[in-house]
Amino acid sequence: MKLLKLVPDNTNIGFVVMRKWAFALTALLTVLAVGATAYKGLNMGVDFVGGLMIEAKFPQNVETDKVRATIGTLGVGESSLQQFGDPKTVQIRLPLPEQGGAGAANAVVEKTRNAMTAQFPGVTFSRYDTVSGKVSGELIQNGVLAVVLAILGIAVFSWFRYEWQFGVSTFVAIVHDVLMTLGFFAVTQLEFDLNIVAAVLTIVGYSINDKMVIDDRIRENMRKYRKMDMKALIDLSVNETLPRTVMTSVTIMLALGALLLFGGHVLRGFTAAMMLGIIVGTYSSVYVSSSLLISLGLTPMSSEKKAGKANIAAQAERVGPRDGAQP
C-alpha cells in the first residue's frame, strides 16, 4: 500500500536563509495586529465589561434593526445587537443599571423579555448572563494573569531545560502568536469572552509544544554533529521535524474544522481563534523561533562536553546486541 506523505523524504528547505524576510514579515504583521487592536479595540463580551446579555431565538429570520427599535423604547440603556450563528438568533447586550443591584438587573431582563414577546410572538430566550462590573474586572485580571504566567512559566522551563536562547526565542514566538490572535479578534470583531481566553491559552500550549519538538531536535543534533555550522544544523533540524509539524497541524485542523462546522454557534469564536492560532503557531515555530536562535548567538560550544559523552553512549547502544528481537 502506498502511504500518504505530506512532506516528501529528504526535504531540505533553507528556512534560515529566509529568516531576514521572515522576521520582517513577522514584525510587520505583529505591528498591524497591535495597531488593529489599539485602533479598533476588541469586542469585549459581558464577561469582561460587565452588563447583561440575553440570547433570543426567533421563530423566523429577524432584522436586528427592528429588535433594536423595540428595545430602544424601553429606556434600559443603549443596546448592542449581534446576529449569532444563524439569522434567527440574536444576542442582545445591555448595560447594567447603575444602581439597584440584583433587583434592578432582574427588572431590565423582565422588561426586555416582555416587550420582545409582545413584539415578536414565539420568541424564546435561551441564555442570560449578568456580570457585575466588579466581577468582570476580576475576570479580566485573572485572564491576563493566566496568559502572562503561562508564557513566562513555559519560557522559564525551556530556559532551564536547554540554553537561555531557547527560552528567549520561545518567549518571542509565543508573544507573537498571542498578539496575532488579538489582532484577529480586533479585525473580525468577533466577541472576545472567557472562552477565548481558554483558546489563547491553548494556542500558547500548542505553540510551545511545536517549538519544544524542534528545539529538542536541535539539541539532539548539536550533540550529534558537533562541527556542523549552526545555520545548517538548524535547517536540518527544522526539515527533519517538518513532516511531524505538518502532520500534527493537519490532524488538529481536521478536528477543529469539524468543531467549526458542526460544533454549534456557541463555540464558533473559540474554534476560529484556535484555528488561527494553530496556523500562526506553526508558522512561528518553523520560521521565527528556530531562526531566532542564530540571531541570539547560540553556539554548539556550550554543551560540547556533555554532547561528546552522550554521543559515545549513543553509538555504543547502536552496536549492542539486538536483545529486543528475542521472543
Partner 1 sequence: MLNFSRWAVFAIILPLAIGVLCAVPSFLPDSVVTRLPGFMQTRVNLGLDLSGGSHLLLEASTQDVAKQRLTNMEEQVRTELRRADPRIAIGDISSRDGKLSFMVREPSQVDAAVERIRQLTQGAALTGQRDFNVEVVNSSTIVITPTSAGISNAVKSAMEVATEVIRKRIDEMGTREPTIQQQGDNRIVVQVPGLQDPKALKDLLGQTAKLEFKLVDFTANPAEVAQGRAPVGSEVLPYPDNPSGVPLIAVKRQVMVSGEDLTDATQGYDQSNQAIVNIRFNGSGGRKFGQVTSQNVNRPFAIILDGKVLSAPNINEPILGGSAQISGNFTVESANQLAIALRSGKLPVALTVVEERTVGPGLGADSIRAGLIASIIAVVAVAIFMFVSYGRFGMYANLAVAINVAVILGVMGMLGATLTLPGIAGFVLTIGTAVDANVLIYERIREERRRGRNVVQAIEHGYKEASRTIFEANVTHAIAGGIMLALGSGPVKGFAIVLLIGIATSVFTAVTFTRMVVANWVRRTRPTDITI
Contacting partner 1 within 259-298 (CB under 8 A): 259, 261-264, 266-267, 270-271, 274
The count of chain residues that interact with partner 1, using the rule CB under 8 A, is 85
For residues 190-219, which are near partner 1 according to CB under 8 A? 194-195, 197-198, 201-202, 204-206, 208-209, 212-213, 216-217
Nearer to partner 1, 67 or 273 (CB): 273
Exposed / middle / buried, residue 129 (Cβ in 10 Å: 0-12, 13-18, 19+): middle
Cβ pair 225, 304 in contact under 8 A: no
When asked if residue 129 is in the footprint of partner 1 (CB under 8 A), the reply is yes
Q: Which is nearer to partner 1, 35 or 133 (CB)?
A: 133
Interface with partner 1 (CB under 8 A), residue from 69, 255, 312, 313: 255
Residue of 79, 158, 169, 291 interacting with partner 1 (CB under 8 A): 158
Out of 17, 135, 187, 312, name the contact with partner 1 by CB under 8 A.
135
Site mask for partner 1 (CB under 8 A), range 54-73, x = bound:
-x-x----------------
Kindly state whether residue 17 participates in binding partner 1, applying the rule CB under 8 A: no
Instruction: Name the one range near partner 1 by CB under 8 A: 14-22, 70-78, 146-154, 292-300.
Output: 146-154
Q: Which is nearer to partner 1, 90 or 131 (CB)?
A: 131
Q: Do strands 80-84 and 86-94 pair parallel, antiparallel, or not at all (unpaired)?
A: antiparallel
Residue 191 CA, distance from chain mean position: 15
**Cell numbers 431582563: residue:** 109
Q: Which of 220, 224, 231, 279 binds partner 1 (CB under 8 A)?
A: 220
Q: Where would I find the beta strands (DSSP E) of 8-162? A: 43-44, 51-57, 80-84, 86-94, 124-131
Q: In terms of CB distance, is 40 or 57 closer to partner 1?
A: 57
Strands (DSSP E) contained in the chain are 43-44, 51-57, 80-84, 86-94, 124-131, 191-192
Residue 223 in the binding site for partner 1 (CB under 8 A): no
Whose CA is closest to 43, among 141, 138, 182?
182
Q: Tell me how far, at minimum, the Cβ of 143 lies from partner 1, in Å.
A: 8
Query: Which residues ranging from 297 to 326 are in contact with partner 1 (CB under 8 A)?
Result: 318, 322-326
Name which of 26 and 158 has its Cβ closer to partner 1. Answer: 158
Q: Which three cell numbers stand for residue 200?
A: 489563547
> Is residue 288 within 8 Å of residue 172, measured between CB atoms?
yes
Q: Single out the residue of 33, 154, 172, 233 in contact with partner 1 (rule: CB under 8 A).
A: 154
Can you tell me the distance from the alpha carbon of 109 to that of 94, in angstroms, rounded to the nearest whole number? 9
Helix (H, G, I), strand (E, B) or coil at 2: coil
81 in Cβ contact with 93 (< 8 Å): yes
Beta-strand relationship, 191-192 and 43-44: parallel
- Binding to partner 1 (CB under 8 A) within 82-111 occurs at 101-103, 105-106, 110
